[in-house]
Chain A
Amino acid sequence: MKKTLILIAVLLSSAVHAAKEGEVLPQCPDAIYGNQDRLDFTAYSGKVVLVDFWATWCPPCKKSMPFLNSLRNELINQGFEIVAINVDENSEEAKHYLARNPVDYPIAFDPNGKCPGIFDVKAMPSSYLVDKSGKIRHVHLGFRDEDQSVLREQISALLAE
Chain B
Amino acid sequence: MIRKNFFYNACLPALVGSTLLICQGCSSVSAWERGNLAKETMSINPTPNLNGFRDHIFSSKEASQGGHSGAGGGCGCN
A residues sitting closer than 8 Å to B (CB atoms) are 53, 55, 57-58, 87-89, 113, 116-117, 121-124, 126
**CB pair A57 B32 closer than 8 Å:** no
Q: Which one of A88, A89, A124 lies within 8 Å of B31 (CB-CB)?
A: A124
B8-60 at interface with A (beta carbon < 8 Å): 30-36, 38-39
Cα–Cα distance between A132 and B38 once the two chains are bound (Å) = 36
With a cutoff of 8 Å between Cβ atoms, the chain A residues found around residue B39 in the complex are 57
Beta-carbon contact of A121 and B30 below 8 Å:
yes
Bound CA span A122–B32, Å: 8
The secondary structure that dominates the B interface is loop
| Secondary structure type dominating chain A contacts | loop
State the CA gap A117–B35 with chains docked (Å). 15
| B39–chain A nearest beta-carbon distance, Å | 7
Structural contact, B38 and A116, CB atoms closer than 8 A: no
A contact residues around B33 at 8 Å (CB):
113
Which B residues are CB-close (under 8 A) to A124?
31-32, 34
Q: How far is the CA of A87 from the CA of B34 in the complex (A)?
A: 10
- The answer on a CB contact under 8 Å between A113 and B32 is yes
Q: Is the CB of A121 within 8 A of B35?
A: no
* Contact yes or no, A116 B32, CB < 8 A: yes
Question: In the complex, what residues of B have CB within 8 A of residue A116's CB?
Answer: 30-32
The chain B residue sitting closest to A124, CB to CB, is: B31
Taking a contact as CB atoms under 8 Å apart, the answer to whether B30 and A55 are in contact is no
Interchain CA distance A122-B31 in the complex, whole Å: 6
Cβ–Cβ < 8 Å partners of B35 in chain A: 55, 57, 88-89
- In the complex, 19 of the A-B residue pairs with CB atoms within 8 angstroms, ordered by the A residue number, are A53-B32, A57-B34, A57-B38, A87-B32, A88-B35, A89-B35, A89-B36, A113-B30, A113-B32, A116-B30, A117-B30, A117-B32, A121-B31, A121-B32, A123-B31, A124-B31, A124-B32, A124-B34, A126-B31
